[in-house]
Amino acid sequence: MAYNSDEIRGVLIQVGEERLLLPNATVAEVLARVTVEPVEGAPDWLPGRIEWHGWNVPLVAFGRLAGMGEEAAARNNRVIVLKALGGNEALPYFGLLTASFPQLASVPRDSLLADASEEDLPRGVQMRVLLGEQSAMLPDLEGVERMVGEALAAVA
């Protein structure tokens, strides 16, 4: 199947009570049944780290971070490992916790509309968008990465 440049390829995941639309290019891997090592003294939205390809990858419970509901670090949860965008060599990846399997999405550029129904977006969210009749949130990945770095530095 040929790639259509008029489409944005993404991954939809469930976090808390909302859905996030992640750029497909940032997703490094989807993992299931991962052992989470707690980070002592970290905020509740940073439940721990996972071991992945020799890296200690911090795990973010995005629903808690943004105040959109809970993702308990349960046995059947999935982890989306994302490539960090900020250029911090000590933090090249971070993970997002999700309770469901990610869904691939090809969204025509002209059908991706900003939803201006909210004046104040949750923390860590760049924008709410409409995908047809459904809504999703675009996370501020660089901002989340920065928050992770600050939280880890505070407990080091």
Task: Answer positive or negative: Cα dihedral of 10, 12, 13, 18.
Answer: positive
For residue 97, pLDDT over 60 is answered with: yes
Q: Is 120 among the domain residues?
A: yes
**Model confidence band, residue 154 (pLDDT cutoffs 50, 70, 90):** very high
What pLDDT was estimated at residue 12?
Answer: 92
For residue 72, pLDDT over 60 is answered with: no
Q: What is the pTM of this model?
A: 0.86
Domain count, the chain: 1
Residues 10-65 pLDDT 10s: 999 988 778 999 999 999 999 988 889 999 999 999 999 999 999 999 999 999 99
Q: Is 23 among the domain residues?
A: yes
For residue 1, pLDDT over 50 is answered with: no
Residues 77-91 pLDDT 10s: 789 999 998 888 889
What pLDDT was estimated at residue 52?
Answer: 96
What pLDDT was estimated at residue 3?
Answer: 54
Count CB atoms within 10 A of the CB of residue 64. Answer: 20
Q: Is 66 among the domain residues?
A: yes
CATH code (residue 45): 2.40.50.180
Q: Is 69 among the domain residues?
A: yes
For residue 100, pLDDT over 70 is answered with: yes
What pLDDT was estimated at residue 76?
Answer: 65
Q: Is 2 among the domain residues?
A: no
Q: Is 58 among the domain residues?
A: yes
Structural domain harbouring 60 = 7-155
